[in-house]
Amino acid sequence: MSTWGLSQKARRCNITVHPPGGCNGLGHLDLPPQLSPAMQAVTEGREALDRLRTIVQVVGHDSIPAAADSFYGGRSVTLGQRIYAIERRAGFRIINRDTRPLAPTPRGRDFLHEAQQILRIADHANLSRPDPL
C-alpha cells in the first residue's frame, strides 16, 4: 500500500497523520492525544512550529506593524499575510485587530493557549535532545 493510501485510511479512522520529514513539523513531539480541529489544520505540514511561534507573539503589541518591528524584521505586510493565512487554516479570527494592544478573540484565546502548550512541549523536546557531534 502506498503512503498516501495508508494516510487516507488513518485519517478516515481519525488517526492524526503527520507528514514525513519536513521543516519543524510536529511528528517528533509527544503531544496530547487530541488536538483541536483548528490546531490540526494550522499545524499540518511544514513550518508548523514557526506558524505557532508567530501567532503567539502578536498579542500585546499595539499593531501588526509594531509586532513586525519587534520580531518579524519590520515586514508588516508579510506578517499580516502570515497571520491571515494562519487564521484561514484555523477557520476563525484568532487576533482581534480592533483592540489596542492586539488581543485574542474569545476562540483565539483557547487556540493560543493550546499553541503555547505545544510550543512548551517542543522546547522541552529540543532541550532533551543530545547535541550533535
For the record, the C-alpha cell of 6 comes out as 495508508
In angstroms, the CA 89 to CA 74 distance is 24
What value does the mean pLDDT take over residues 43-67? 93
The number of distinct structural domains making up the chain is 1
Residue 84 belongs to some domain of the structure: yes
Residue 15 belongs to some domain of the structure: no
CATH of the domain at 91: 1.10.10.10
DSSP annotation string for 6-73 = HHHHHHHTT---PPSS-TT-STTS---S---HHHHHHTSSTTHHHHHHHHHHHTTSSSHHHHHHHHST
Residue 2 pLDDT more than 50?
Answer: yes
Residue 4 belongs to some domain of the structure: no
Residue 113 belongs to some domain of the structure: yes
Res. 101 pLDDT band, cuts 50 70 90:
very high
31, 121 contact by CB (below 8 A): yes
For 19-35, write each residue's pLDDT tens digit: 554 445 666 676 766 88
Residue 8 belongs to some domain of the structure: no
Q: Greatest CA separation found in the chain?
A: 53
Residue 30 belongs to some domain of the structure: yes
C-alpha 101: how far from its chain's center?
21
54, 38 contact by CB (below 8 A): no
For residue 84, the enclosing domain spans 23-128
Residue 47 belongs to some domain of the structure: yes
Res. 127 pLDDT band, cuts 50 70 90:
low
What value does the mean pLDDT take over residues 104-110? 97
Residue 27 belongs to some domain of the structure: yes
For 60-98, write each residue's pLDDT tens digit: 999 999 999 999 999 999 999 999 999 999 999 999 999
pLDDT of residue 34: 83
**% of the chain exceeding 70 in pLDDT:** 77
